[in-house]
Amino acid sequence: MKIAEELKKRRTFAIISHPDAGKTTLTEKLLLFGGAIQTAGAVKSNKIKKTATSDFMEIEKQRGISVATSVMVFNYSGVQVNLLDTPGHKDFAEDTYRTLTAVDSVILVIDCVKGVEEQTEKLMNVCRMRNTPVIVFINKMDREGRDPFDLLDELEEKLNIKVRPLSWPIGIGARFKGVYNLYEKNLNLFNASKTTIDRNIVGIKDLDDKTLDEQVGEEPANKLREDVDLIEGVYESFDNEPYLKGSLAPVFFGSALNNFGVQELLDTFIRISPTPAGRQADTRFVNPDEDAFSGFVFKIHANLDPRHRDRIAFLRVCSGRFERNKFFHHVRLNKDLKFSNPVTFMAQDKNLIEEAYAGDVVGLYDTGSFKIGDTLTEGENFLFQGVPSFSPELFKEVENKDPMKSKQLEKGLSQLTDEGVAQLFTQQPGNRKIIGTVGELQFEVIQYRLKNEYNASCEFRPLNYYKACWVTSDNKVALEEFLRLKSNYIVTDKDGNFVFLAQSEWILGMARENHPDVQFHFTSEFKREAAAKAKA
């Protein structure tokens, strides 16, 4: 019974957006309303010498962008909220894609000035693949942006999803005065405050109340009444079931920077968002209320605290109860492990925990046992699916600038590529190290972290390859022949798997045509399939 009760009290979600839509600022304000922090710093403000709580890496603070997923836990209205703040920049999309496998719902942040942008569409496509429930928060209403009705139309057209506004702005830009909560049928006005909460200045239950005119002015009040009448006439009443199935997106308006509309969003999110859902494994579907524990690793981060050189594996609990100092089965390694110091997070701050339930994200100190996608159970042999590494499209050879620091460079490359932001390949003869990524900015982050976390200096020399793909075959002779013919373009990944670096799309197509017995894989899912075969 306790597991069922704990599930009701949990919400696990990610915040996603195109860069600069205000995602990290919204994250901080949710933490502020949840009481997890007492004051918030504007991410790009020079007046407030604080950086975003969720941006804890030094390069994030300097660049003002998120380059890694942060995990934050807080309690609000009797619910434990597990919030994952993801990178918005397209060069770090792979980290975001994997994070989306570990959450049960999403808040998508839209800039009211720019509307739906390219990365927004890509992220939404990933959500639609899994039918992930999505809430939209249209941000920056304190700026001169686009008409709210036009934004709703664009959301439906470009994101291919029905929308239903659950809050509505009073004015926009310099005339923005607050939001009306269509879900609760009331109005809350807030003082513009970038760092603290000022709640419930005015509560109005009826739009015909003349207090509304006194507070916001007669013209804005009448405009709000007209807009609400139009909304109620055009859009159907909100139904929670289509939202939970991922076919309807509730929409909220506000200004995260000034705390407008954030409480409406958070209050409604707690009421309508899904409790932890089950996950598909290779042998069966795992329900969250099962007694036996299970979970999977969706992220690894080296040097979360550079002073202690710690390596943390982020594990999403999928079923049962995780307990400190209890042995659990590492399915890929086929051995049992116990964890004496499991933690929960507030970005880089960690708190020791005794237990965790489905939906929770647990940090496990790792000495190298874990890889992204690994499964832990209480003994049953299954592997959770759908946490792939993608085929990189940018390649650079690593050139060591300080031979005296070769060991530090080797260690840094190994640990940083374990995180999944890039992939490390080795080419023989000569033991050449090649980094593959899906975005240019990742090279800059790796170079910065090698220097600042491992005291290792390197340069990257660009290589002209089109795509990397893993190659396998049930026909040993055919595989050996392919490896011989393409020896100049064959490398191995960190697990010793053969990888073909194709110079162009045409060459890749010809290779596949000329070697029909060889399989070409564009994600690492084939490793999981091979492990499942070996286990069977």
pLDDT tens for each residue of 499-514: 999 999 999 999 999 9
Which long-range contacts (C-beta less than 8 Å, at least 24 apart) are formed by 526-535? 526/470, 526/472, 527/470, 527/495, 527/497, 528/282, 528/373, 528/383, 528/385, 530/472, 531/332, 531/383, 532/282, 532/283, 532/383, 535/331, 535/381, 535/383
Domain ranges of the chain: 8-272, 279-377, 394-535
* 462: β partners: 396
Mean pLDDT, rounded, for 218-235: 91
pLDDT number for residue 523: 76
Higher pLDDT among residues 201 and 500, named by residue = 500
Mean pLDDT lowest for which of 112-116, 183-187, 246-250, 524-528? 524-528
Mean pLDDT, rounded, for 360-377: 89
pTM over 0.85: no
pLDDT number for residue 127: 86
Q: How confident is the model at residue 305 (pLDDT cuts 50, 70, 90)?
A: low
β-pair type (375-377, 328-330): antiparallel
Q: How confident is the model at residue 32 (pLDDT cuts 50, 70, 90)?
A: confident
Give me the CATH code for the 8-272 domain, please: 3.40.50.300
pLDDT tens for each residue of 34-57: 877 665 443 333 333 334 444 444
pLDDT number for residue 46: 34
* 3-state secondary structure at position 301: strand
Q: Which two three-digit tokens encode residue 238?
A: 């909100």
88 has pLDDT over 50: no
CA 314 – CA 347 distance, rounded (Å): 12
Dihedral sign from CA coordinates of 328, 333, 334, 336: negative
Q: How confident is the model at residue 94 (pLDDT cuts 50, 70, 90)?
A: low
416 has pLDDT over 90: no
Mean pLDDT, rounded, for 72-91: 79
β-pair type (70-76, 432-437): unpaired
Q: How confident is the model at residue 423 (pLDDT cuts 50, 70, 90)?
A: confident
pLDDT number for residue 178: 82
Mean pLDDT, rounded, for 23-38: 82
pLDDT tens for each residue of 280-295: 998 999 999 999 999 9
387 has pLDDT over 90: no
Q: What is the mean pLDDT of the chain?
A: 84
pLDDT tens for each residue of 140-195: 998 998 999 999 999 999 999 999 999 999 988 888 888 888 888 777 775 555 55
pLDDT number for residue 252: 96
Domains 8-272 and 279-377 share a fold: yes
Mean pLDDT lowest for which of 86-100, 114-128, 424-438, 490-504? 86-100
- Percent pLDDT > 70 in the chain is 83
Please count the helices (runs of H) and the strands (runs of E) in the chain.
15, 31
Q: Is CATH 3.40.50.300 correct for 279-377? A: yes
450 has pLDDT over 90: no
The one-letter code for the residue type at 145 is: G
- Percent pLDDT > 90 in the chain is 47
Radius of gyration of the chain (CA): 25
Q: How confident is the model at residue 100 (pLDDT cuts 50, 70, 90)?
A: confident
What fold characterizes domain 394-535? Alpha-Beta Plaits (3.30.70)
pLDDT number for residue 361: 92
pLDDT number for residue 183: 83
256 has pLDDT over 80: yes
Higher pLDDT among residues 96 and 30, named by residue = 30
SS3 for 227-264 is HHHHHHHHCCCCCHHHHHCCCEEEEEECECCCCECHHH
CA 99 – CA 84 distance, rounded (Å): 8
pLDDT number for residue 54: 43
Q: How confident is the model at residue 473 (pLDDT cuts 50, 70, 90)?
A: very high
pLDDT number for residue 271: 94
pLDDT number for residue 53: 44
* 3-state secondary structure at position 513: helix
Report the range out of 172-176, 203-207, 481-485 with the highest average pLDDT.
481-485
For residues 344 and 391, the answer to whether their CB atoms sit within 8 Å is no
